[in-house]
Amino acid sequence: MINLKLNVLSRDEVESIHLAVLQVFEKTGVKIYSERARRMLKEAGAEVDEKTYMVKIAPYLVEESIKNAPKYIQLYGRNTSYRLKLEKDNLYTVLGSTVP
């Protein structure tokens, strides 16, 4: 198996984008139409406006979620012998327009 690594952004660029996103989440917020998602975020400590669907998420909530996220996700095909482990630093390519 060939092990390739693709770096489009530097670590500093990734960190800059991350900090900008944290600022948008905290100051501007994001519109979330899912009632269930808004309820979960509110229970976690986010500020939720039910009239506008806007949710403001404090940076600590994002950082905590990143720390608690699984290290990989396992995808399975209809045939259980076909599976794919999606994990950090791996590059995946697919053919087709409807593949997630």
- Taking only the tens place, the pLDDT of each residue in 24-75 is 999 999 999 999 999 999 999 999 999 999 999 999 999 999 999 999 998 8
Q: Can you read off the two tokens belonging to residue 25? A: 């989440």
User: Residue with structure tokens 């791996």?
Assistant: 90
Q: pTM, whole model, 2 decimals?
A: 0.71
- What is the rounded distance in angstroms from the CA atom of residue 82 to the CA atom of residue 92? 15
- What is the rounded distance in angstroms from the CA atom of residue 91 to the CA atom of residue 35? 34
- What is the rounded distance in angstroms from the CA atom of residue 91 to the CA atom of residue 77? 19
What is the tens place of the pLDDT at every residue in 2-28? 767 777 899 999 999 999 999 999 999
Asked whether the beta carbons of 71 and 87 are under 8 A apart, the reply is: yes
